[in-house]
Chains A and B, each alone.
Chain A
Amino acid sequence: MVGRRRVIAGLAGLGAGLALPAGAEIRRASGARWIEPYDFPLEDPFAATVVGTPPQVQAERPELRLGVNAFRARTGIPSGRTIPDVFWYDRRGLGYGVAFQPGPAPLVVLVAGTGGAFNSRTTRILARGLLAGGFHVLGLSSPSFGNFQTTASETGVPGRLAHDAADLHRALEWILPEVERRIRITGLHLAGYSLGASHAAHLARLAPERGRFHFERVLLLNPPKSVFSSLRIVDALFERHLGDPERRLAFIDAAFDAFAQLQRRAGGALDTSRDFLYDVHTALRPGRDTLEALVGLVFRLMSTNLAFIADVLTGSGYLVAPDAPIGATSSLTNVFVQGNRLSFERFLDDLFVPFFARREAGYSRAAAIAEQDLAAIEPFLRGDPRLGLVTSADDIILAPGELAWLERVFGRRAVIFPRGGHCGNYAERRFVAELADFFATGWAR
């Protein structure tokens, strides 16, 4: 059956509507489909999150090749902001990427996760799966990505989902006409992973009000239930493993020792081109602590960047003085080092909440946390038949009880993989088949 599925998935466009995923599954009392048994070899969700899909269970999908089946471009500056000197490189505009079919096809707008670019690793993996399913893909950067924040965020402070959705909507108003001039689009879908799934939900809710875009189907991939809770989970990983300066130094040294060791084994330069992380994982078998530290580190680097950009754009005096004449040749090293020491919660309490409280009477930490929870739009999520959900039962960003909540709310429109961690199974065969089938048929059967 696997072979047949692959063949069907490979028939770009033509086969998409017929690609009923084969294989085992269990319909739970909630109505959700659990994919069991599931052929995904990484048992540790942190390994899946960091390493991604092992090559032996990857679906066959076309490569993305610029100029052949993909292009990248920049639109203008949708926010109309005058970009400060220190972000001079963003004056070139908001970036986006497109993977396209040779002929007319429906387009899936794909919103990246926390700190992710339109061409982030995860977006590219999903785009290849969608290409195999016969769709065009428009990759958008996350509103929490630096280039989006400077060029397309109304306030400069991303994180309020409804605001971010409005920013995304405007960005799409700029970008989609440009894309339509280059490829033939026969329908419009929406997807997002991780924080991008929360954004997709809010954008799907906003779009009918604006009347400009009609998304036929909307897929939420590994969403946080409560953004705040998820960010705390990930940020706590950094504090636990790397909060102590001595351990941070030791971690950096250990990482380079590991590379030196790999290099000696390889007898020369390392091949970092394909499945590199999986090769490293196979060779070194990093422990849970190392993987947790890595996830925490990646998140902390991202949130430092977000906080600094928000600080400069709003003049909040958080890391730099509001009137600091920072230019292209100012040293940002101190800011980087200091920013990396500050937790996400510090940013929330010291910049985020005060900034919005100045603009909206009564805005508080509690309000911020509540509006970032999918529970805030639960009736919409329950009632809108366009929506679907795919997630993993071992997703590391979900707190106890949150998976059950998602399962209850989405019911028959939910597919749950028992493994895959956070966005780690996006190249796996069954996942790719379910992805394409959702946009082709809405999982109708």
Chain B
Amino acid sequence: MRALALPAALLLLAGCAALPADQLGSIEPRNRLPPDGSDGEAGIEVWDPWEGFNRGVYWFNADFDERIFLPLADGYRTLVPEPVRDRVHDFFNNLGEIRNAANGLLQARPEVASRAVMRFAVNGTIGILGLFDVAGAAGLGEQDEDFGQTLGWWGVPPGPYLVLPLLGPSSLRDAVGLAVDRAATRSVPPASDVTELAYPSPAVDALEAVDTRANIDFRYYDSGSAFEYDVLRFLSTKRRELEILR
């Protein structure tokens, strides 16, 4: 499968800046940006020094999505009835409250942390181990906090844009955040006491990945745009800014 040969190619691309398409070839195109940047900002710029690598990963992700991830998500949706899928989704969401609570505390926002704790407590008990989002139904809506946002909250800039394998658009800061969240919830008690029970085998992680994918509407290149990478880079960066403002 071509998809599996790609990671090797990606390693070769690592660290490469991408060659700008308008500067390739033997002649100068008739309509071209001044290469010295003398014409000001376009407003969609994102710092992307590893663009060659990122575009390679984007390609890999789109390919992987098409061949493996989407068929799994589609199969999951076909085979598992919606009420059951909703329980799975609520269950993983509820585990995410551990991360939300910790990051609410780290951001010195007690209202965020306490809502996360309340949700976890209510859903974990009345909601039967998180299978039902009763707290949400009672008006305690979901939040989504992570360590990347916590860093951003305290003024850490996103750093270079980074497309993560399988996970998609991110930044150096948010990638570090992901790793910290993961390590902390899996190895620091009391969070690890819960996650040890909840994730007894990698199959549960795989189920979580499929659940996540099945709940995201995005399909690579449904936009029909050759500039999807550029547009998504800009929008995802802006979305992170909004999430940190919240």
Q: Which A positions have Cβ atoms within 8 angstroms of B?
A: 66-67, 86-90, 92, 115, 117, 119, 141, 145-147, 245, 248-249, 252, 256, 259-260, 263-264, 267-269, 301, 304-305, 308-309, 311, 317-326, 328-340, 342, 346, 350
> Known: A337-B33, A350-B31. Contact between A259 and B21, CB under 8 A?
no
Contacts of A337 in B (CB 8 A): 33, 42, 44
Q: Which of B84-92, B126-134, B184-192, B219-227 contacts A (4 or more CB under 8 A)?
A: B219-227
Q: Could you tell me the distance in whole angstroms from the C-beta of A266 to the nearest C-beta in chain B?
A: 9
The total of interchain contacts (Cβ-Cβ below 8 angstroms) comes to: 163
> How many angstroms between the C-alpha atoms of A317 and B238 in the bound complex?
33
Known contacts A252-B43, A332-B226, A89 near B24 by CB under 8 Å: no
User: Which of A117, A269, A311 counts the most B-chain CB atoms under 10 A from its CB?
Assistant: A269
| A residues near B74, Cβ cutoff 8 Å | 66-67
Q: Report Cα–Cα, A146/B221, bound state, in Å.
A: 9
Of A146, A263, A340, most buried by chain B (CB within 10 Å of CB) is A146
Inter-chain contacts of A309 with B (CB < 8 A): 226
When the two chains form their complex, are residues A326 and B144 in contact, meaning their CB atoms are under 8 A apart?
no
Q: Assess whether A321 is in contact with B25, with CB atoms less than 8 Å apart.
A: yes
0/1 interface trace, chain B 50-78, chain A, CB 8 Å (1 if under): 01100110010010001000000010011
Q: Which of B12-20, B152-160, B164-172, B200-208 has 4 or more CB atoms under 8 Å from chain A?
A: B12-20
Q: What is the bound-complex CA distance between A88 and B3, given in angstroms? A: 13
8 Å CB contact of A320 from B21, B52, B62, B230? B21
Interchain CB contact under 8 A, B24 and A326: yes
Question: Which residues on B are within 8 Å of A, measured CB to CB?
Answer: 13, 16-33, 39-45, 48, 51-52, 55-56, 59, 62, 66, 74, 77-78, 141-144, 220-227, 229-231, 238, 241-242, 245-246
Find the A residue at minimum CB distance from B217.
A273
Knowing A248-B43, A328-B55, A337-B44 touch, does A305 contact B20 (C-beta < 8 A)? no
The smallest C-beta distance from A374 to any residue of chain B, in angstroms, reads 26
Interface of B is mostly: loop
Please name all residues of chain A whose beta carbon is closer than 8 Å to the beta carbon of B62 when the two chains form the complex: 89
Bound-state Cα–Cα, A313 to B16, Å: 27
Given that A119-B222, A333-B230 are contacting pairs, would A320 and B25 also be in contact in the complex, using a CB cutoff of 8 Å?
yes
Given contacts A117-B223, A147-B221, A324-B21, 4 further A-B contacts (CB under 8 A): A67-B78, A321-B27, A323-B27, A338-B32
- In the bound complex, CA of A259 to CA of B242 (Å): 8
Report the separation of the CA atoms of residues A89 and B238 in the bound assembly, to the nearest whole angstrom.
26
- Contact partner of B227 among A89, A318, A336, CB < 8 A? A336
Residues in A whose Cβ lies below 8 Å from that of B42: 245, 248, 337, 340
**A88 to B62 CA separation, bound complex (whole angstroms):** 11
- The distance from the CB of A197 to the nearest CB of chain B, in whole angstroms, is 20
Chain A contacts for B238, CB-based, 8 A: 256
**Which of B13, B20, B23, B45 gathers the greatest number of chain A CB atoms within 10 Å?**
B20
CA distance A322 to B29 in the complex (A): 8
Chain B residues within 8 Å of A330, by CB: 18-21, 24, 55
A87 to B41, CA, bound (A): 27
Q: When the two chains form their complex, are residues A320 and B43 in contact, meaning their CB atoms are under 8 A apart?
A: no
Complex contact B21–A335 (CB within 8 A): yes
Residues on the B chain within 8 Å of A145, using CB: 224
- Are the C-beta atoms of A92 and B59 separated by less than 8 Å? no
Among the interface residues B21, B144, B242, which one has the most CB atoms of the partner chain A within 10 A?
Answer: B21
Residues of A within 8 A of B245 (CB): 260, 263
B201 to chain A, nearest CB (A): 29
> In the docked arrangement, what's the CA distance between A115 and B223, Å?
10
